[in-house]
Structures are given as C-alpha cells and as structure tokens.
Amino acid sequence: MISAQRDARRELQYDVEQFLYYEAMLLDDRRFDDWLALLADDLEYWMPVRSTRARGDEANEFAKPGESAFFDDDKNSMSERMRKLVTGYAWAEDPPSRTRHLVSNVRINGIDGETIDIGCNFMLYRSRLANDEDLWVGRREDRLRRNGESFVIARRHVYLDHVSLTSKNLSIFF
C-alpha cells in the first residue's frame, strides 16, 4: 500500500514535470495559441513587484494582491496579449524575441482532488535582435488542474528575484 502510494506520487511528479516542460516548449516555439489553450478559464496570472527591505521587514518585500504588479492578468487579458501578437503591429515582438524557459526544482506542495499545487524555480533567457539579452530568474507557484490525461493552469504566481528589471519590456511570458 505504501509502495503503491509512492508509485502514484512518482507518477504524478513525472506527469507534472512533463507538463511543465511541454508548456515551456510551446512558449519557446512561439506556439502561443496552443499555450493559451492550457490556461484555465478562471486563470489567475500574477507577478508582483518587489522591493529591497531591511532584515526584519521581509514581509513587505513583495507587493500584495491588488497592489503594483508586472502581470495582474486573467484568461481574458491573456487572450488579449495573444491576439496582440498576431495583429501585425506588435512592435515589441516584431521581429520576435528568442526565449528559452528552464524549469527546475519541481515540488508538489499539495493535492486537493483534481487540483495540484506545485512550486518550481525558473530561468527565462531572452535574446532579441542582434545582441539584446535578458535573464529573469525566480520561482513560481502554480496551481494545475487535471484535464483528462493532461493539466490546465489555473493559477501562476511568479516571484522574481529582481527588484528593478534591467529589461526594456516584458513582452514575453513566464
């Protein structure tokens, strides 16, 4: 019995990791419509801004929900972002950026019925035009929901390690 639980856990870990690699590939391959299809209708996609705080004041490092955020999105606004890309006028992404999403340190933090809360670390590298480069590093808290043999993303909270971004824009996705 214990062994069976362990096997199920291993299988879930494998499925979750494969899913995260798959959606990273979709973004890097610029298959944005396919990626959008993995976002749940009740999506919460949020990347709060951060500030440098003294030791003892760490609780105020990240902006809270409802405060300043780099992304403060839902399914509808993410759909707008995808539509924007294909208008022929999306200058920040024309020519398109080259991205590489690396996902690691995947942990299953909680399972509640069909819902799986996971944590992971990421590095997102962007190369743009001849030699513009960006590197964003941080951790994510994702909420996945089972969808047949696969998952959908119901929540993505992205916590950057940066305070002031050294990037001219965030015209890419995490």
Partner 1 sequence: MLADRPATFARYIDRARGLVNRKIFVDEDIYAQERDRIFARCWLYLAHESQLAGPGDFVSVFMGEEPVIVCRDQDNAVGAFINSCRHRGNKVCRADAGNVKSFVCPYHGWTYDTRGDLQGVPGHRDLYYGELDRKEWGLVKVAQVASYRGLIFGTFDPQAPPLEEYLGDMRWGLDLLFDQGEFAAVPNITRWSMDVNWKFASDNAIGDMYHGAWSHRSAIMAGHTSGNGTNAVRVPRSASLDGGFTVVTAYGHGFNANFVDPAVLNLNTPMSAWRKDPAVQARLGALRSRVNRANMLVFPNLFVNSGSRELMLRNPLGPGRMEIWKTILVDRNAPAEVQRMQVRASNRHFGPAGMFEQDDGENWDQSTAGARGNVSQRYDLNYAMGLGHGAVVNDEQGPARIETLTNENAQLWMYRAWAEFMDAPNWPELRAHHDEPRGAL
Residue 91 buriedness (CB in 10 A; 0-12 / 13-18 / 19+): exposed
Interaction between residue 87 and partner 1 (CB under 8 A): yes
Edge to edge, the sheet with strand 39-48 lists 69-73, 39-48, 150-160, 132-147, 115-128, 98-112
For partner 1, give the closer residue by CB, 63 or 106.
63
Interaction between residue 122 and partner 1 (CB under 8 A): no
For partner 1, give the closer residue by CB, 1 or 59.
59
Which of 131-161 are b and which e, b meaning 16 or more Cβ less than 10 Å from the residue's Cβ?
eeebebebebebbbeeeeeebbbbbbbbbbe
Q: Closest Cα partner for 156 from 51, 52, 50, 78?
A: 78
For partner 1, give the closer residue by CB, 72 or 117.
72
CB of 54 to partner 1, least distance (A): 4
Q: Which of 72, 117, 119, 125 binds partner 1 (CB under 8 A)?
A: 72
For partner 1, give the closer residue by CB, 19 or 45.
45
Are 78 and 36 spatial neighbours (Cβ–Cβ below 8 Å)?
yes
Interaction between residue 48 and partner 1 (CB under 8 A): yes
CB of 61 to partner 1, least distance (A): 9
Contacts with partner 1, residue ranges (CB under 8 A): 47-54, 57, 60, 63-64, 66-73, 77, 80-81, 83-85, 87-92, 163-171
